Amino acid sequence: MSASLRNFLITRLFLTIPMVLILITMVFLIMRVLPGDPIRSQLGPRVSETQANAIRERLGLNRPLYIQYFNFVWSMVTLDFGTALTQGERPILDELSERIPATIELTIPAMTFTSVFGIFLGALAARYRKKGPDYTIRLFSIIVYSIPIFFMGLLFQILFSVRLGILPLAGRMSPILLRNFESPTNFYVIDSIITQNWAALGSVLAHLVLPSLTLGLALSGVFIRLTRVNMIEMLQSDFITAGRARGIPETKLTYRHALRNTFIPIMTLIGLQFAILLAGAVLTETTFSWPGVGRYLVERIALRDYTAVQSTIAVFAIFVAIITLTMDVLYAFIDPRIRY
């Protein structure tokens, strides 16, 4: 490893730490400012003040704010996320270990679809610039980007589940198969393959189609526009003009030479979008009753569960930091100019 690359990686690593710290600090303060009482959300409005104070004392919610903050930061450093206030004091790590795999299983096919679909259509639009396919693809990208995710999901549910009846409406697996399904990792696809439960695998994949398609289509508009803009610039460069002069087919110039040189800005978008999706596709998970991290976060915010919300946001921040750092490393390997 060269000295420039090593210095770049060390610098990015040290910049990641304050980014995570700032984010969890903001969440800690915002949760204290928002109206609502997590104790009364859990026990109801009729609980006496004496009982509520006793619970606050036990959970440390009546301590000075700076002590609560330092205790929270220390718990993040030691990966001790504590217990959820509104789940019978169940460990938050157990909650997240069940829901993070669900979000990852939704995110990976959605991100794969939106990347391949969006990049292909963007390159196609650039190749036929100011012609029929270009106008059609650009209009399509605007439409899918403008439609709210929850509305698109509802349309797909009505069409494919209610009207045609060919795909499941919601959830991760058929309730009948779920009763006897063993899932030690909580990754249903992997567990189905390991146990050779092909009926469960088919149900899991069928339940993945609509939410991943909804999420992938909603994000594909951004990839189409970004790829098109960069491809148009690349197709006007000197080395593409020289390739045309040598008689290289236009398809080869477009998809093998020009597209390869536009991957740095596209990779930037892929990294950012993947981090956002891992942080919780809230609307998609809510629409399809998908038991992922995003839906869990919405539920805990509604109940003013300080501990669960803070810990979940901290996990989000760590995910985003890791993916951003990984993308920076890839940039440094692809383009040495970034290191300096």
Determine the 3-state secondary structure of 195 from DSSP. Answer: coil
| Nearest C-alpha neighbor of 127 from the set 224, 220, 218 | 224
Position 206 scores a pLDDT of: 92
* Residue 122: pLDDT over 70: yes
Q: How confident is the model at residue 36 (pLDDT cuts 50, 70, 90)?
A: low
**Domain range list for the chain:** 92-302
CA distances for 34 relative to 30, 105, 302, angstroms = 6, 32, 11
Render pLDDT for 245-271 as a digit per residue (tens, 0 to 9).
888 887 777 777 777 777 777 777 777
Q: Do 229 and 125 form a contact (C-beta atoms < 8 A)?
A: no
Instruction: Please state, in angstroms and rounded to a whole number, the distance separating the CA atoms of residues 127 and 133.
Output: 9
Q: Among positive and negative, which fits the CA dihedral 5, 6, 7, 8? A: positive
Q: What is the average pLDDT value for the chain, to the nearest integer? A: 80
Render pLDDT for 55-78 as a digit per residue (tens, 0 to 9).
677 667 777 878 888 887 887 777
- CATH architecture of residue range(s) 92-302: Orthogonal Bundle (1.10)
Determine the 3-state secondary structure of 301 from DSSP. Answer: helix
pTM for the model stands at: 0.78
